């Protein structure tokens, strides 16, 4: 059949397309990028990549889109109903044609809610959509917080590795000096052995840091939506973001925090539901247009109006009491969300301020003192004014001082991530 419909050239092109289709589908359905593409390791690049490729954000975003789509349907009218009644269908044999029976009634009916009910249903759906959007912002901010925290640990481990390289270089130079002085008979062999022992300890620390770096990179890849073995380029040396002022952060929290927005949307939805329940005191209407066909012509028209009788007052009063209680509960939950968020913000701000102060202290005082102590110890050892243990101790003090600065800096980044997460801006 194909041979008669298509030329040989067209059939060949179709065959190539059919062969290519499965592979294109496989590539299109691949959820994660290939591991061979290196990704920039700086924080803004990782956050932007997560926004584009995170399956978690994609799923929550789809739920938010579904909530927005429900707004239009919430206030829509129900479909009209058509009723057809045939009279005397068995007189003289089964007859189903309207022209053959004694009469045929047609009724077209449409339910019409009482004035204001459709608008309230749209308001409820709109508030639910706003709550879903706030939930998306909460999920996105929480994911960003985890990425920031993992990135802080990764940067700290890389910085510790660089410090280890510096200390190893210093100790190797000191070992050369110790070997020279030992060969000249100026120091015991123990100085050389102590240098080698310190270098062995550094080798062990290097292995531990390498494992820590690999684990941090795997976690970062998983958080942003990549394969765990994806390559990450070394991060830049950019300073962490500045800590916002507490009063300004508090205003931003009250205005834009996802938890508060979600609680406010829940309160609006509960208020609209309460108004809708109270409006149920008024019955909905059903309007119908009827026509009567006899033989092949329509000779009667009718108009029908139906409504419910609101006689079950006990049930209605119970529904109103329930909706009022839910409205009050939503208001209380919103107040609680504001109080808890402000308390958490102040706590995170205090912790971040303390971590930043420690990092500045270590960088401006302790690290400088440790560098001067090491330089003095090396100079004194070359002249025989001190022993080799003082050199090793000074080198390890410098390592501890720098590591404490990096630890304080990482702690500041983590605390800042928590603070920004309270604002929904992580």
The region of weakest confidence among 135-139, 200-204, 351-355, 374-378 is: 374-378
Residue 295: left if φ>0, alpha if ψ -120 to 50, beta else—which one?
Answer: left
pLDDT tens digit string along 214-270?
999 999 999 998 888 888 888 887 788 888 999 999 999 988 889 999 999 999 999
pLDDT given at position 35 = 45
Cα–Cα distance, 227 to 210 (Å, whole number): 19
Mean pLDDT of 205-217: 92
Close Cβ partners of 37 (under 8 Å, ≥ 6 residues apart): 230, 231
Least confident of 46-55, 137-146, 248-257, 375-384: 375-384
Residue carrying the six token digits 């006689």:
311
Residue 42: partners with Cβ closer than 8 Å, 6 or more residues away:
235, 236, 238
In this predicted model, what pLDDT tens digit does every residue of 69-84 receive, in sequence order?
A: 998 888 888 889 999 8
pLDDT at 177: 77
Q: 88-92, 136-140, 223-227, 393-397: which range is least confident on average?
A: 88-92
The C-alpha R_g of the chain, in whole angstroms, comes to: 38
3-state secondary structure of 349: helix
pLDDT at 124 over 80: yes
Find the mean pLDDT for residues 96-118: 85
Q: Is residue 2 part of a domain?
A: no
In a domain, 106, yes or no: no
pLDDT of the residue at 190: 76
pLDDT at residue number 21: 36
- Residue 236 token pair: 């830049």
Residue 303: is its pLDDT beyond 50? yes
The dihedrals phi and psi of 302, each to the nearest 5 degrees, come to -145, 160
Please indicate, yes or no, if residue 339 is contained in any of the structural domains.
yes
Which band of pLDDT confidence, cut at 50, 70 and 90, is reported for residue 36? low
Would 110 be classed as within a structural domain? no
By percentage, how much of the chain surpasses pLDDT 70? 91
Q: What is the mean pLDDT of residues 123-140?
A: 93
φ, ψ of residue 365 to 5 degrees: the values are -130, -65
pLDDT exceeds 70 at position 92: no
State whether the Cα torsion 66-68-74-76 is positive or negative: negative
pLDDT exceeds 90 at position 211: yes
The pLDDT of residue 60 is above 50: yes
Check residue 197 and give its pLDDT: 86
Which tokens go with 311? Answer: 């006689």
Q: How far apart are CA 387 and CA 297, in angstroms?
A: 122
Question: Of the ranges 24-28, 31-35, 318-322, which is most confident?
Answer: 318-322
pLDDT exceeds 70 at position 93:
no
- For residues 315 and 332, what is the distance between their CA atoms, to the nearest angstrom? 26
CA distances from 278 to 75, 127, 266, 282 (A): 17, 19, 18, 8
Say if residues 151 and 413 touch (Cβ distance below 8 Å).
yes
Q: Kindly report, residue by residue over 408-418, the tens digit of the pLDDT.
A: 999 999 999 99
Distance separating alpha carbons of residues 149 and 25, to the nearest angstrom: 36
Q: Identify whether 145 is part of a domain.
A: yes
According to DSSP, the β-strands at 297-307 and 81-87 are unpaired
CB 352 within 8 A of CB 419: yes
Average pLDDT, the chain: 83
Residue with tokens 């950019």: 238
CATH number for the domain that contains residue 214: 1.20.1600.10
Q: What is the pTM of this model?
A: 0.78
Residue with tokens 């973001």, as numbered in its chain? 241
Total count of domains within the chain: 1
Give the model's pLDDT for residue 398.
Answer: 87
Average pLDDT over residues 263-288: 90
Confidence tier at 91 by pLDDT (50, 70, 90): low
Helix/strand/coil percent split, the chain, to 5: 70, 10, 20
Across the beta sheet with 81-87, the strand order is 81-87, 103-112, 285-294, 297-307
Helix or strand (DSSP H, E) at 106: strand 103-112
Closest of 333, 350, 149 to residue 259, by C-alpha? 333
Answer whether residue 157 is part of any domain. Answer: yes
Q: d(Cα 412, Cα 394) in Å, to the nearest integer?
A: 27
Contacts of 293-296 with C-beta under 8 Å, sequence gap 24+, read 293/98, 293/103, 293/104, 293/105, 293/106, 294/102, 294/103, 294/104, 295/99, 296/99
86/108 Cα distance (integer angstroms): 15
- CB 39, CB 230: distance < 8 Å: yes
In a domain, 3, yes or no: no
Please list the residues that pair with 83 across neighbouring strands. 107
Structural domain contains residue 357? yes
User: Among 18-27, 226-235, 346-355, whose mean pLDDT is lowest?
Assistant: 18-27
> Per the structure block, which two tokens stand in for 134?
């706030």
For residues 19 and 11, give the distance between their C-alpha atoms in angstroms, rounded to a whole number. Answer: 12
pLDDT at 25: 34
Structural domain of 132: 35-79+115-283+315-423
Which residues have CB under 8 Å from 191's CB, separation 6+? 178, 181, 182, 387, 388
390 vs 367: CA distance, rounded Å: 17
Average pLDDT over residues 363-377: 84
């Amino acid at each position: 059949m194909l041979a008669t419909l298509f030329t040989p050239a067209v059939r060949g092109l179709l065959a190539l397309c059919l062969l290519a289709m499965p592979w294109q589908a496989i590539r299109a359905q691949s959820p994660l990028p290939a591991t061979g593409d290196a990704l920039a390791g700086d924080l803004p690049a990782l956050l932007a990549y997560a926004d584009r490729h995170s399956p978690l954000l994609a799923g929550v975003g789809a739920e938010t889109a579904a909530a927005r789509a429900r707004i239009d349907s919430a206030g829509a009218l129900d479909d009209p109903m058509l009723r057809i009644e045939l009279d005397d269908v068995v007189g003289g044999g089964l007859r189903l044609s309207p022209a053959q029976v004694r009469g045929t009634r047609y009724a077209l009916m449409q339910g019409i809610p009482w004035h204001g009910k459709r608008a309230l249903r749209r308001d409820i759906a709109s508030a639910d959509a706003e709550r879903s959007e706030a939930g998306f912002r909460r999920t996105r901010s929480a994911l960003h917080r985890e990425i920031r925290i993992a990135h802080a640990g990764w940067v700290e481990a890389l910085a510790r590795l660089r410090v280890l390289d510096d200390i190893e270089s210093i100790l190797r130079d000191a070992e050369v000096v110790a070997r020279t002085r030992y060969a000249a008979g100026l120091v015991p062999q123990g100085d050389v052995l102590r240098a080698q022992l310190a270098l062995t300890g550094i080798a062990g620390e290097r292995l531990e840091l390498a494992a820590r770096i690999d684990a941090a990179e795997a976690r970062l890849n998983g958080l942003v939506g990549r394969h765990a073995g994806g390559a990450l380029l070394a991060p830049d040396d950019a300073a962490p973001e500045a800590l916002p002022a507490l009063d300004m952060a508090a205003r931003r929290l009250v205005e834009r925090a996802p938890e508060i927005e979600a609680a406010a949307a829940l309160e609006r939805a509960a208020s609209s539901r309460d108004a809708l329940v109270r409006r149920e005191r008024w019955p909905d209407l059903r309007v119908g247009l009827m026509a009567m066909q006899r033989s092949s012509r329509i000779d009667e028209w009718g108009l029908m109006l139906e409504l419910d009788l609101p006689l079950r007052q006990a049930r209605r009063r119970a529904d109103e009491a329930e909706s009022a209680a839910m409205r009050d509960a939503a208001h209380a939950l919103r107040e609680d969300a504001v109080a808890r968020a402000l308390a958490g913000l102040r706590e995170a701000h205090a912790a971040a301020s303390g971590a930043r102060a420690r990092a500045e202290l270590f960088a401006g005082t302790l690290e400088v003192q440790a560098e001067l102590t090491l330089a003095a110890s090396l100079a004194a050892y070359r002249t025989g004014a001190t022993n080799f243990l003082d050199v090793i101790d000074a080198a390890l003090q410098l390592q501890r001082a720098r590591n404490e600065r990096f630890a304080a800096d990482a702690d500041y980044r983590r605390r800042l991530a928590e603070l920004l997460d309270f604002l929904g801006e992580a």
